[in-house]
């Protein structure tokens, strides 16, 4: 009954039964847990282990490979609830969707080898190495190369912002297999590999953590003659960029759902605090100066939520959802940021105190204006692909 | 042994309760509803008995509106084996009184023949604290209320009860009705695979008429009112200030 993202007007959020249980799990990880991790820059291993044990990170893996086989909207419901509860799904959201590359483009042997163990949590596949220092948004100019040599590829180069690499057993790596000068289209000649990071550590693979403004376990990675068995190539050589693109819609929709969850968390906080805090002898929420930004952020969140629903519904029917997935990400990231901003303002000085969690969530949600795709690039996508305007980049 | 667990759908404990304008009760339109927290503890205990091998089957029963299916699905996702919904009201605002609930439960129990009933000590909406006791009287079974520990030992159950003076341990004959208190256990949340499995577990739907029970209310609600608003407190800087304030207030 609740299984479809395409529920009609007025339908409540999909998967209420899943949301409820996720909320119960999250309740075991209160503010104090996240504040301590944040201070220590530590990975939320306990939280991630528990989500894994309870099967939530295997939501999108088909039942035949040991997962729950939920549609995308089910995974979106899980991530939204995690954020809404004040937890941080960024520590493990990629475990849900990075495997999609193997699922869609891997061989049957690769699927059998990896997916059941990813579903059980025995293997973590939550590192995705695309971005490089010299090629951020312009992915096809990346320089990391994988050169075929007998039954293996030899990888040299560097990645940056490869999140969770220290907490992942496997990484999906995008590298150039044909020099850019030798391919007709710049999108050709890139290939995807499954890298067994445990095996490669100290054998050509070096991971260095990057300290960031939030607790995100992101890293830079160096490859020096790192060997990858040829059998770890995903799909056909040279088609890697297309495979990456095919997974982006799912990623955008899921990140958008997380932003919706963040926005709900902020706005619930704002509304409740504005009703309680009295200044000048009355609740601050009685002033329109406080009310209006919170109300506007709520309206923004609802609009974003509906776009997430639309994008997920299209995705689930197999239709092209590029425009909707991108717009959902744009609107949701904007809505969570507006809600965060209103929440800080509403709380006055108290927003800055760690014990309120607002400054932490504020730092965390800011990321989604930039990664995994920046807001500017979504606007140029809409201009070019939806409105038919000239390509700007 | 089969264990039967009655579960009630109530307003979620996190929801700020609002009284309806006409004072006839609490506004339940579009508010989040959940399983009564004491019933969650009861379901958890029944599942633990099954996991320990002390029970073979756990049956959850809910009496109320059709939407109580969701509450039963929660029980199934936690680990109950099957569920029975007895539809006894159309309006979410109609609360079925303890005596009617106990009569329906007795009829279900006559059919199901469980060896043990574990119920919440009270529902957090009406706080009646009566259904379990009435049920044991109707069945002629022994009862052990406010349980904080439960041990099944053959044809007896050893139950520790939370009473005003402390803890009381009693031994009762099986079959019996146990009502549970807050500290008996910490209920689990359901895993994703178990939520998926619960969708396929049997959920029988019956009506109060099927059991020939008249659920029309015998009690009349005269008035429902919001609790008096508490005056805001103050924060004190240290123990000295606290003591000074308490002296000021004449409390010490
Ligand atoms: C915490 C964190 C985690 C990350 N995790 C991962 C990960 O796990 N794996 C991974 O591969 N990457 C990851 N990234 C990288 C992320 O995807 C990139 O940061 C993002 O794609 C932007 O690239 P860039 O940082 O190089 O910015 P740049 O490409 O240098 O862009 C800088 C700014 O210029 C704007 N800009 C660029 N081109 C145009 C244009 N044509 N028109 C208008 N504006 C333009 C951008 O929108 C942006 O605002 C992560 C980043 C961060 C910060
Ligand atoms: C890092 C930091 C350093 C500080 N340093 C000092 C210091 O050295 N000395 C010191 O004395 N104080 C200091 N402060 C306190 C600071 O001055 C107060 O935080 C600030 O005055 C706001 O008060 P408040 O936090 O109690 O917010 P509140 O007064 O509770 O206000 C909360 C929100 O409601 C809004 N609001 C209130 N009334 C109305 C109204 N009628 N109409 C519209 N909006 C309204 C406010 O604008 C604000 O957005 C500091 C605060 C911080 C965070």
Residue A214: CATH number of its domain: 2.40.110.10
Statement to judge: residues A81 and A141 lie in one domain: no
Q: Does B4 touch chain A (CB under 8 A)?
A: no
- Return the structure tokens found at B228: 């008096």
Indicate if A38 and A132 belong to the same structural domain.
no
- Interface check for B196 against chain A (CB to CB < 8 A): the answer is yes
Please give, rounded to a whole number of angstroms, the shortest distance from the CA of B74 to a CA of chain A.
7
- Tens of pLDDT along chain A (393 residues) come to 334 445 677 778 899 999 999 999 999 999 999 999 999 999 999 999 999 999 999 999 999 999 999 999 999 999 999 999 999 999 999 999 999 999 999 999 999 999 999 999 999 999 999 999 999 889 999 999 999 999 999 999 999 999 999 999 999 999 999 999 999 999 999 999 999 999 999 999 999 999 999 999 999 999 999 999 999 999 999 999 999 998 999 999 999 999 999 999 999 999 999 999 999 999 999 999 999 999 999 999 999 999 999 999 999 999 999 999 999 999 999 999 999 999 999 999 999 999 999 999 999 999 999 999 999 999 999 999 999 999 998
Secondary structure percentages of chain A, helix, strand, coil, to 5: 55, 15, 30
Of B77, B193, B232, the CB nearest to A17: B77
Residues A269 and A220 in one domain: no
Beta carbons of B70 and A17 less than 8 Å apart: yes
Interface test with A, best of B70, B186, B195 (most A CBs within 10 A): B195
Question: ipTM of this predicted complex?
Answer: 0.92
Please state, in angstroms and rounded to a whole number, the distance separating the CA atoms of residues A75 and A83. 13
* 3-class SS of residue A43: coil
At A362 the pLDDT is 98
Q: Do residues B119 and B42 lie in contact, with contact meaning Cβ atoms separated by under 8 Å?
A: yes
Structural domain includes residue A10 = no
Residues 6+ apart with CB under 8 A from A93: A79, A126, A254, A255, A258
Tell me if A99 sits within 8 A of A241, measured CB to CB. Answer: no
Domain over B2-248 is classified CATH 1.10.1370.30: no
| Domain final residue, candidates A178, A205, A238 | A238
> Do the Cβ atoms of B73 and A54 come within 8 Å?
no
Asked if residue B38 lies in contact with residue B94, where contact means CB atoms within 8 angstroms, the answer is no
- Domain total of chain A: 3
Distance CA A155, CA A109 (A): 23
Query: What does the block give as tokens for A210?
Result: 């990057």
| Closest-lying ligand 2 atom to the alpha carbon of residue A345 | 49
Here the CATH number for the domain that contains residue A108 is 1.10.540.10
Are A229 and A312 in a shared domain? no
Residue A12 Cβ < 6 Å to ligand 2: no
Mutate to test the interface with B, among A21, A28, A277, A353 (most CBs of B within 10 A): A21
DSSP A161-199: EEETGGG-SEEEEEEESS-GGG-SSTTSSEEEEEEEHHH
Residue A191 and residue A129 share a domain: yes
Note whether A111 and A130 are same-domain residues.
no
Return the residue of B nearest to A11 by Cα. Answer: B30
B154–A contact, CB cutoff 8 A = no
Residue nearest to atom 43 of ligand 1 (CA): A376
Q: Is A72 part of a structural domain of the chain?
A: yes
Chain B contacts of A25, Cβ < 8 Å?
189
Q: Are residue A275 and residue A377 in the same domain, yes or no? A: yes
Are residues A82 and A136 part of one domain? no
Per-residue pLDDT of chain B (252 residues; tens, 9 = 90+): 999 999 999 999 999 899 999 988 999 988 999 999 999 999 999 999 999 999 999 999 999 999 999 999 999 999 999 999 999 999 999 999 999 999 999 999 999 999 999 999 999 999 999 999 999 999 999 999 999 999 999 999 999 999 999 999 999 999 999 999 999 999 999 999 999 999 999 999 999 999 999 999 999 999 999 888 888 788 888 999 999 999 998 888
- Residues in A 16-45 with any Cβ partner in B closer than 8 A: 16-18, 20-22, 24-25
Nearest to B189 among A24, A70, A78 (CB): A24
Listed in sequence order, the residues at least 6 apart from A199 whose beta carbon sits closer than 8 Å to its beta carbon are none
Please give the structure tokens belonging to residue A182: 């030798």
Sign of CA dihedral B209, B213, B215, B217: positive
Q: For A56, which of B74, B192, B232 is closest by C-beta distance?
A: B192
Contact A344 CB / ligand 2 (< 6 Å): no
User: A158 C-alpha to center of ligand 1: Å?
Assistant: 16
Contact A178, A238 (CB under 8 A): yes
Both A298 and A232 in a single domain? Answer: no
List residues of A with catalytic annotation: 251
Which residues surround ligand 1 with Cβ inside 6 Å?
A 128-131, 136-137, 161-163, 212, 216, 218, 367, 370-374, 376-377, 380, 392-393
Q: Which of B34, B74, B193 sits opposite A55 (nearest CB)?
A: B193
* Domain shared by A60 and A169, yes or no: no
Q: Considering the domain boundaries, does residue A392 fall inside one?
A: no
List the domain range (segments joined by +) for residue A319.
247-386
Q: Is residue A226 part of a domain?
A: yes
Domain end (from A200, A221, A238): A238
CATH number of the CATH domain containing A382: 1.20.140.10
Measuring from atom 41 of ligand 2, which residue has the nearest CA?
A287
B67 touches chain A (CB under 8 A): no
Looking at A193, A219, A238, the residue that finishes a domain is A238
For residues A138 and A58, state if they share a domain: no
A194: contact with B, CB 8 A cutoff? no
Whether residues A102 and A132 share a domain: the answer is no
pLDDT for res A92: 97
Contacts of A388 (CB under 8 A, 6+ apart): none
Boundaries of every domain in chain B:
2-248
């Amino acid at each position: 009954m609740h299984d479809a993202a395409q529920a009609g007007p007025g339908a409540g959020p999909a998967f209420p039964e899943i949301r409820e249980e996720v909320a119960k799990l999250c309740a075991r990880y209160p503010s104090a847990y996240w504040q301590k991790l944040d201070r220590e820059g530590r990975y939320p291993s306990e939280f991630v282990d528990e989500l894994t044990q309870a099967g939530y990170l295997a939501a999108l893996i088909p039942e035949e490979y040991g997962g729950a086989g939920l549609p995308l909207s089910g995974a979106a419901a899980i991530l939204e609830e995690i954020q809404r509860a004040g937890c941080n799904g960024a520590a493990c959201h990629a475990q849900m969707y990075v495997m999609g590359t193997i699922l869609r483009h891997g061989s049957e042997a690769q699927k059998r080898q990896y997916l059941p163990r990813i579903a059980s949590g025995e293997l973590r596949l939550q590192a995705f190495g695309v971005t490089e220092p010299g090629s951020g948004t312009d992915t096809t100019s990346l320089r990391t190369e994988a050169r075929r040599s007998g039954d293996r590829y030899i990888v040299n180069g560097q990645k940056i912002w490869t999140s969770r690499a220290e907490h992942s057993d496997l990484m999906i790596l995008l590298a150039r297999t044909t020099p850019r000068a030798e391919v007709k289209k710049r999108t050709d000649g890139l290939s995807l590999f499954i890298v067994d990071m445990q095996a490669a550590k100290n054998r050509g693979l070096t991971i260095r953590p990057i300290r960031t403004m939030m607790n995100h376990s992101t890293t830079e990675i160096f490859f020096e003659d790192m060997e990858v068995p040829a059998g770890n190539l995903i799909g056909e050589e040279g088609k890697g960029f297309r495979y990456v693109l095919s997974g982006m819609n799912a990623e955008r929709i899921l990140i958008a759902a997380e932003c919706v969850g963040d926005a709900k968390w902020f706005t619930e906080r704002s509304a409740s605090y504005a009703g309680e805090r009295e200044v000048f002898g009355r609740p601050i929420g009685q002033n329109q100066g406080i009310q209006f930004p919170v109300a506007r952020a709520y309206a923004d969140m609802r609009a974003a939520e509906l776009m997430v629903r639309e994008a997920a519904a299209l995705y689930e029917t197999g239709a092209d959802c590029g425009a909707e997935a991108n717009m959902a990400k744009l609107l949701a990231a904007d809505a969570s940021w507006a809600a965060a901003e209103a929440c800080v303002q509403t709380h006055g000085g108290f927003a800055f105190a760690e014990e309120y969690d607002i400054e932490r969530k504020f730092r965390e949600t800011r990321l989604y204006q930039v990664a995994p795709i920046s807001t500017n690039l979504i606007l140029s996508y809409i201009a070019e692909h939806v409105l038919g305007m000239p390509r700007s980049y | 042994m089969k264990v039967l667990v009655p579960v009630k759908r109530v307003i979620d404990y996190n929801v700020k309760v609002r009284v309806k304008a006409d004072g006839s009760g609490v506004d339940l339109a579009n508010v989040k509803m959940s399983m009564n927290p004491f019933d969650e503890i009861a379901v958890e205990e029944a599942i633990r008995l099954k996991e320990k091998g002390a029970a073979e089957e756990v049956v959850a029963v809910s009496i109320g509106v059709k939407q109580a299916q969701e509450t039963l699905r929660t029980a199934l996702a936690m680990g109950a084996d099957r569920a029975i919904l007895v539809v006894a009201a159309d309006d979410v605002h109609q609360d079925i009184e303890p005596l009617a609930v106990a009569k329906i439960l007795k009829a279900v129990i006559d059919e199901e023949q469980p060896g043990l009933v574990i119920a919440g000590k009270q529902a957090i909406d009406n706080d009646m604290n009566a259904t379990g006791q009435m049920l044991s009287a109707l069945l002629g079974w022994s009862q052990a209320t406010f349980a904080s520990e439960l041990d099944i030992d053959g044809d007896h159950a050893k139950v520790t009860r939370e009473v005003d003076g402390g803890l009381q341990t009693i031994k009762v004959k099986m079959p019996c009705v146990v009502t549970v208190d807050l500290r008996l256990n910490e209920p689990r949340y359901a895993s994703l695979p178990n939520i998926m499995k619960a969708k396929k577990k049997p959920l029988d739907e019956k009506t109060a008429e099927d059991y020939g029970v008249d659920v029309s209310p015998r009690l009349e609600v005269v008035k429902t009112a919001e609790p008096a608003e508490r005056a805001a407190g103050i924060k004190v800087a240290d123990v000295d200030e606290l003591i000074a304030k308490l002296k000021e207030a004449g409390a010490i």
